[in-house]
Amino acid sequence: MSEQDPGDASLAGGAIGYDLISGQALESKAWGIEEDLNDQQLRAVQLPVDANIQVIAGPGTGKTKTLVNRLLYILTEYNVPPEKVLVLTFTNRAIHIFRESLFKLAPAIAPQVEIHTFHSYCQSLISDHWEEVGLRPGWTVADDMDQEYILTEVIKETVGSHTTAREFRVLSNKLHTYKRSLLNKSAKRDSKLDEILTKYETRLAGCNMLDYDGILKLGYRLAEKYSKAPESDKNKYFSALLIDEFQDANLFQWDLTCLIAKGSASITIVGDPDQSIFSFQGASSNLLDIMKKQLSDVRTVVLTQNYRSSQEIVDAASAMIREDSHFLGDEQMPVGLFTGPKPIFKKSLDSTSETVWVANTIHHLTHKENVEPSSIAVLVRTNGRKDSVAAGLRQRGIEVAIYGPLSLLKSPYIRPLYSFLKFIQNFEQDIQLLYMLRNPNKILSPKQISEAQSFSRSRGLPLWEALQQNQLWLRQPTTRVNKSKKPHGPPDLDQFISVINKSADIIHSNVHDSESLVEGLQLVSQYLSWPTRYGDKAHVKQQELFDLITSIAPLLKDESTSLSSSLLAHTRLQDIAAKPGEVVVSTIHNAKGRLQHCLRRLGLRPRPRGSCFAGECWERRRNDSSAARGAAGSGAEPQPPEAPYRM
């Protein structure tokens, strides 16, 4: 496609774009573009539609705003239909933010634009062509809980049931890294890991499930196949690809992007190499150079005006980033638009004294400086540290809101209900049924479950049907009094089957109705007796689930999205919003992109772990600086008194 200047006469008078409010075609240039874009943002937005663009944008420089306006400019200035533009990013939260920004500017067009993570785009391909990749009807995606369950069973079979929890975590992490390195074609083969991986993938296939890496692999296979479609078939082609958070991409995802572009779509990426936190998944700043080598006429625009952080915060972060071997130069460093107090670096003897100092600081800010607690964040490196810090702050009388990663659906009080919902979508999903048979009530012993599985395999039946024919395989008690009665399963199993069937009937009677869904779940909850057994905690968590279902009631009417997928996506999007009076405690990873005015970062100099790979400690320092720029606001941090407080 030849480059067209937006001021070309062929476009000036009669270019028909889209009215982004009404969705109707109109004669207009740059309709919907925001007027307050700075010169750097405007340059990135108004480059020709066929230009390949790298927008280097640090935290607070308005990269999402720039990308959204670039999208609107392409639609209005070049008459590109919304369905011909694909936006790719890396998290559901990023999708939510992008779509929300787009909806504010163009509510009629926002639903028509495809906005995906790489995983969800591949999943959409698989949904359209599942037979071509060997899946059966009713295939589902194995979430984190499913994967952990299957992997645990496989490791027990391969390594032994005596594996400790720590050994399991180490082996699980190794396998995860190994799978990712296989995707990026950078792995050295490991026979032990290959054996575990083969069994794991075989078990997944037997359950008609794909894990997240499997989605990428099959999506890549389909994208590769359809990238060779004849050029005359224009319906399969995008005109433009927009990629947010490009610093988090790996080589596999870049290759996939090129397959999707098919050599005809322009590619615009927005990212900041200094914010990369996914090197453990293969993310590399070298992709910027690879993009320039593989694509022609790549334009680079640098956004340097930081609207979020004070100059003092920017200077502190920049001083660390300059030591990075991938440092791009001072001309690409952000500039703060306002000033504030300098950051404070406090050395502590240990984690306890560190927490004490933070508690004193927060107490001073809230009681002496009248700082609202919800504008204060404490960032830590690991989830384990997060809990201990929160406990220390609470002991000081400070109320705390903890940011995930634990989803509501992973709560032990909700997991059985979620497994039930996934199971009734497809009664052949043995993995969900196996979980329910052992959690929280022990319906069958491991030996009885093994007998049920043997019977189901010998008869070619799903496990659920085998359970309902339990009189054919389940050994009957020898103390049966009335032998003339028809044998039946143990009361617990009979009741379990009855409750599942009744609840499923209620939900399936109107599967898109939130009231029916809640009614069916309440029946299961009553059977589990959890509110009675565990008290308020279980009741509160289950009420949260019911409230969530009610809140997404309109989305349940979308037949293209499964119920469990809707719930999973929305629990991940749910941020635990700090209420007035609560201080936020979060890992650096979960805090990325959130805005807080006062920031406390603990563990700035982590002790190297045994698994520490070359460069990991340096990357942690880069993450610290990225978090400082990305999460900090004005940085208003008055020096607190040093008077010790003993817990």
Where do the structural domains in the chain lie, given as residue ranges? 9-126+219-303, 143-206, 335-403+576-631, 409-477+485-557
Asked whether residue 621 carries a pLDDT value surpassing 60, the answer given is no
The H or E element spanning position 204 is: helix 191-206
So what's the pLDDT on residue 337?
Answer: 67
- Of 28-32, 340-344, 474-478, 619-623, which has the strongest mean pLDDT? 340-344
So what's the pLDDT on residue 273?
Answer: 75
Provide φ and ψ at 335, rounded to 5°.
-120, 125
Asked whether residue 166 carries a pLDDT value surpassing 60, the answer given is yes
Q: What is the CA radius of gyration of the chain?
A: 27
So what's the pLDDT on residue 188?
Answer: 80
CA dist 46 to 7, 69, 132, 169, 270, Å? 10, 9, 41, 49, 15
Q: Is 59 annotated as a binding residue?
A: yes
Q: Is the pLDDT higher at 354 or at 144?
A: 354
d(CA 630, CA 60): 7
Q: Is the pLDDT higher at 612 or at 72?
A: 72
- Of 75-84, 418-427, 571-580, 584-593, which has the strongest mean pLDDT? 75-84
Residue that has been written with the tokens 């011909």 in this structure = 84
Q: Give all strands of the β-sheet with 52-57 in edge-to-edge order.
A: 114-117, 85-89, 240-243, 266-271, 52-57, 298-303
Please say whether the beta carbons of 3 and 47 come within 8 A. Answer: no
So what's the pLDDT on residue 84?
Answer: 94
pLDDT, one tens digit per residue, over 386-417 is 888 988 999 999 999 887 655 678 788 888 89
Asked whether residue 4 carries a pLDDT value surpassing 70, the answer given is no
Asked whether residue 277 carries a pLDDT value surpassing 60, the answer given is no
Q: Read off the pLDDT of each residue in 497-526 and give the average, rounded to a whole number.
A: 91
Please say whether the beta carbons of 361 and 578 come within 8 A. Answer: no
Q: Which residues contact 143 (CB under 8 A, 6 or more apart)?
A: 568
- Of 55-69, 166-180, 279-293, which has the strongest mean pLDDT? 55-69
Beta bridge partners of 25: 18
Percent of the chain with pLDDT over 70: 72
560 confidence band (pLDDT: 50, 70, 90): low
What is 409-477+485-557's CATH number?
Answer: 1.10.486.10
So what's the pLDDT on residue 52?
Answer: 96
Please say whether the beta carbons of 357 and 346 come within 8 A. Answer: yes
Q: Is 57 annotated as a binding residue?
A: yes
Say which range, 67-71, 165-169, 416-420, 512-516, has the weakest mean pLDDT.
165-169
Q: Read off the pLDDT of each residue in 206-218 and give the average, rounded to a whole number.
A: 90
Q: Is 58 annotated as a binding residue?
A: yes
So what's the pLDDT on residue 295?
Answer: 92
Strands (DSSP E) found in 395-484? 399-402
Q: Is the pLDDT higher at 29 or at 508?
A: 508
d(CA 451, CA 469): 12
pLDDT, one tens digit per residue, over 92-151 is 888 888 999 999 999 888 889 999 999 999 999 999 999 999 998 878 888 888 888 888
d(CA 383, CA 368): 30
Provide φ and ψ at 306, rounded to 5°.
-90, 115
So what's the pLDDT on residue 108?
Answer: 87
So what's the pLDDT on residue 410?
Answer: 79
Asked whether residue 384 carries a pLDDT value surpassing 80, the answer given is no
d(CA 118, CA 94): 12
Q: Looking at domain 9-126+219-303, which CATH architecture does it have?
A: 3-Layer(aba) Sandwich (3.40)
Q: What is the mean pLDDT of the chain?
A: 77
378 confidence band (pLDDT: 50, 70, 90): very high
Say which amino acid occupies 488.
Answer: H
- Of 72-86, 396-410, 424-438, which has the strongest mean pLDDT? 72-86
Q: Read off the pLDDT of each residue in 192-219 and give the average, rounded to a whole number.
A: 91
Q: Read off the pLDDT of each residue in 621-645 and give the average, rounded to a whole number.
A: 40
- When the candidates are 3.20.20.140, 3.40.50.300, 3.10.20.30, 3.30.1340.10, the CATH number that belongs to 335-403+576-631 is 3.40.50.300
d(CA 220, CA 119): 10
CA dist 565 to 227, 402, 511, 529, 570, Å? 28, 24, 14, 26, 9
d(CA 104, CA 65): 11
Asked whether residue 590 carries a pLDDT value surpassing 80, the answer given is no
Asked whether residue 329 carries a pLDDT value surpassing 60, the answer given is no
d(CA 93, CA 548): 17
Please say whether the beta carbons of 433 and 167 come within 8 A. Answer: no
Report, in this order, helix, strand and coil percent for the chain, each rounded to 5: 55, 10, 35
- For the record, the structure tokens of 91 come out as 């998290």
Residue that has been written with the tokens 């499997």 in this structure = 214
Please say whether the beta carbons of 97 and 270 come within 8 A. Answer: no
Provide φ and ψ at 462, rounded to 5°.
-60, 155
Q: Read off the pLDDT of each residue in 550-561 and give the average, rounded to a whole number.
A: 70
Asked whether residue 51 carries a pLDDT value surpassing 70, the answer given is yes
Q: Read off the pLDDT of each residue in 13-29 and give the average, rounded to a whole number.
A: 41
Q: Is the pLDDT higher at 491 or at 134?
A: 134
Q: Read off the pLDDT of each residue in 60-73 and give the average, rounded to a whole number.
A: 93
d(CA 33, CA 69): 6
Asked whether residue 35 carries a pLDDT value surpassing 90, the answer given is no
258 confidence band (pLDDT: 50, 70, 90): very high
Please say whether the beta carbons of 511 and 563 come within 8 A. Answer: yes
Say which range, 173-182, 310-319, 360-369, 612-621, has the weakest mean pLDDT.
612-621
- Please state whether the peptide bond connecting residue 638 to the residue before it is cis, i.e. omega within 30 degrees of 0: no
275 confidence band (pLDDT: 50, 70, 90): low
Please say whether the beta carbons of 124 and 113 come within 8 A. Answer: no
Domain 9-126+219-303 shares a fold with domain 409-477+485-557:
no
Beta bridge partners of 88: 116, 243
Say which amino acid occupies 119.
Answer: H
d(CA 539, CA 532): 9
Q: Read off the pLDDT of each residue in 187-194 and give the average, rounded to a whole number.
A: 84
Provide φ and ψ at 88, rounded to 5°.
-120, 140
Percent of the chain with pLDDT over 90: 31
Helix or strand or coil: residue 86? strand
d(CA 475, CA 471): 8
So what's the pLDDT on residue 29?
Answer: 39
Say which range, 249-253, 371-375, 530-534, has the weakest mean pLDDT.
530-534
Report long-range pairs for 25-33 (Cβ below 8 Å, ≥24 apart): 28/76, 29/76, 29/77, 30/73, 30/76, 30/77, 31/72, 31/76, 32/72, 32/75, 32/76, 32/105, 32/106, 33/69, 33/72, 33/73, 33/76
The H or E element spanning position 317 is: helix 311-321
Count of CB atoms within 10 A of residue 451's CB? Answer: 17
d(CA 433, CA 590): 32
Q: Is 62 annotated as a binding residue?
A: yes
- For the record, the structure tokens of 214 come out as 């499997």
Burial of 221 (0-12, 13-18, 19+ CB in 10 A): middle
Q: Is 64 annotated as a binding residue?
A: yes
Longest Cα–Cα distance of the chain, Å, equals: 96
* Crossing angle of the two packed helices 191-206 and 165-183, in degrees rounded to 10: 90
Q: Is 61 annotated as a binding residue?
A: yes
Count of CB atoms within 10 A of residue 257's CB? Answer: 23
Q: Is the pLDDT higher at 275 or at 164?
A: 164
So what's the pLDDT on residue 227?
Answer: 79
